[in-house]
Every structure is written in structure tokens, then in C-alpha cells.
Amino acid sequence: MSENTNEPTPLTDLGEFGLIERLTKDIELKNATSKLGVGDDAALIKNEKAMTVVSTDMLVEGVHFDLLYMPLKHLGYKAVVVNLSDIYAMNAVPTQITVSLALSNRMSVEALEDIYEGINLACELYGVDLVGGDTTSSLSRTVISITALGQVEQDKVVKRSGAKETDLICVSGDLGAAFAGLQILEREKSVFKDNSAMQPDFSGKDYILERQLKPEARKDLIEYFAKEGIVPTAMIDISDGLSSELIHLAKASKVGVQVYEDKIPLDAQTINTCEELNLNPVMAALNGGEDYELLFTLPIQHFEKIKREPLLTIIGHVTDQGSGNNMVATGTEALIELKAQGWQH
């Protein structure tokens, strides 16, 4: 009998997106109502008058959150928001969520109530209904899985694949703050482990800590698009770092991108914290992740309308695919090739 000499492939060889592509490459959509499947921020299901948008995200203890410094109410809130961000990335309005939990025996009823307090707060603030879910036991870690649903008119759907040459590349808010906040939390965790009598020092770090522990999805930007009659040509949420998301958008749209280092929006607290920790704030924005801002492209004719809009920043433009994906360095004007070095799940 012949032996199979092929060695198993480690998950790390593929990474998150390589794994998803490999597992789903042979999937074919069989139902006429299934308009978009795996490969974007959310799936699209056609109904009578609009499109239903569906997205699922999972948070795993020890991978996505640390209960040593993550308040349970914040955990519930964040679990909802990261899913709603994917719905907004399709230019849709979230409407319902379901919540599934795997709970270890360390979790008390009161702790679970704290998680649901955060979930309910997010639902209230974003106008979303909690309509179902599941609970089960876990032998070790707590896991939260949330499925979010939303609605969008068929002619307003925005995918990752619509960017065109000369389009403006824009981002909402500022970037890198969540990563900076995580570094502070990890630093103080290390200090606490070495000396439990030491009190954590979070002075002057309120903004970056909130960006890590209690992020917000950009409902306001989607409302701005609707008010101004703007439909982006492509959009994606920034969960794994600006560089990775730019590459995903460029690949889906079959284009190149050119962004400018000095245009990447950074908060002063992010810059100061990165300098304190000997980190490059631009690298934090490019590769840090968990900002849950929106990266999108707009036709160049919108320039006059958006150039002073405080909700967004123009950071570059779309180029032809052959030009690649690059950042123009400040001062030298050298082209630096963008690499997908964002956080790996």
C-alpha cells in the first residue's frame, strides 16, 4: 500500500485571506437571489426592492481580546461594532444582528450580563435589532460570533471591485490609534505581571485606548453619502491595516493605487505615543489594524465637494494595474511598494 508523503500545510503558510480563498475557490452560487458571496466585506442577497447584506465576525479570547484589560461591557459593544463596520463598507444600513457565544466555566451570569449590556448599547446607538443567536460551553476560551444584516438599494451597493483609474482614494477619520492603544495596554500588562502592586499609567491616552477598546463604526459617513448623493466606486473597512486594505481593494478592482505618506491622517495622541514607544506612526497606520475606518474611492469630479469635508481625507489616487501599489515617501518622493503586513488572525 502506498503512503501519502505530502506534508500537511500549516495555516500560517496561507494567512487569513489565502486560507479563505483556498477553501472557497470552488464554491458556486446556485440561487438567483445570491448576488455576491465570499470575497467582499459582506455577502449580498437580492430581495424584492433592495439587497440584504450579511456579514459574520468572530472574536476569540486570547486572539482578538484579552480579558485582563478588556472590560466585558466594552467587549460586547466592540463585537457588534466590528460587524456593523462591514455592513457600512457595502454602503448599507445595518438592521439586525444575531449573537452566538461559547462560554468557559470562568464566566459568571453577571459577567455575561455585562457583555450583553454592551451589545444592547451598540444596538441602541446604531438602530439595530438583536433577533437571535446561540450559546454553548467552551472548555477554555470565550468566543463571540455575531452575524449582522443590513439593507441597501440595488443601485447604491458598493463593492471592493469598482475602483477606476484616476479615482480619488479617501479614508474616514484617522488611522493607527487602535494599534497605539493596544501597545499601551500590553506595556502596562507586562508591568503588572512583573509587579502586581504597580498601578497602570494611562494618563493622556484616553483617545487611543477608546479606539482599541470601544471603536465606532462610520455610520456618519454613510449618512453623508446619502445626503450628498455620493456613491463610492469601491469601499472596504480598515480592520487589518491600511496597507492590506489598499491591496485588497486594488486586487478586486484590477487597478493600482498610489497614496502619499504625508496625507495619511494621524491623531496627535497616536503620533506622541508611537514616538514614546519608538514606533513609526505611519507604519502603525499602514499595518496596525482595528481602526474600523472606511477606505473608499470616488470619481475625481467629486473633488471640489469633498476637499474640505472633515469626515474624510483624500490620501491618493487610483492608477493602472501595471503601476502597482505604492506610497510616495515624504521628502524624497520615492515610491515605496505597499506590503500586506497587517495583523494576521
CA distance linking residue 25 with residue 40, whole number of Å: 14
Instruction: Select from 106, 129, 156 the last residue of a domain.
Output: 156
Cα 219 to chain centroid, rounded: 14
Residue 172 and residue 288 in one domain: yes
Residue type (1 letter), 203: S
Indicate whether 18 belongs to any domain: no
Query: Is 300 a member of any domain?
Result: yes
In a domain, 61, yes or no: yes
192 with 44, same domain: the answer is no
Q: Are 200 and 313 contained in the same domain?
A: yes
**Shared domain check, 190 and 51:** no
Considering the domain architecture, whether residues 222 and 293 belong to the same structural domain is answered as yes
Structural domain range at position 102? 33-156
Alpha helices in 254-315 (DSSP H): 268-276, 281-287, 303-306
Q: What is the pTM of this model?
A: 0.86
Do 173 and 291 meet the contact criterion of CB atoms below 8 Å apart? yes
**Per-position pLDDT tens, the chain of length 345:** 444 557 777 756 666 556 556 655 665 655 555 556 555 545 566 677 788 899 999 999 988 999 999 999 999 999 999 999 999 999 999 999 888 988 887 888 888 899 989 999 999 999 988 887 888 888 888 999 999 999 999 999 999 999 999 999 999 999 999 999 999 999 998 887 777 767 778 889 999 999 999 999 999 999 999 999 999 999 999 999 999 999 999 999 999 999 999 999 999 999 999 999 999 999 999 999 999 999 999 999 999 999 999 999 999 999 999 999 999 999 999 999 999 875 454
Phi, psi of 158 (to 5 degrees): -120, 125
User: Is 3 part of a structural domain of the chain?
Assistant: no
Question: Helix and strand tally (H, E) in the chain?
Answer: 10, 13
Domain of 81, CATH number, reads 3.30.1330.10
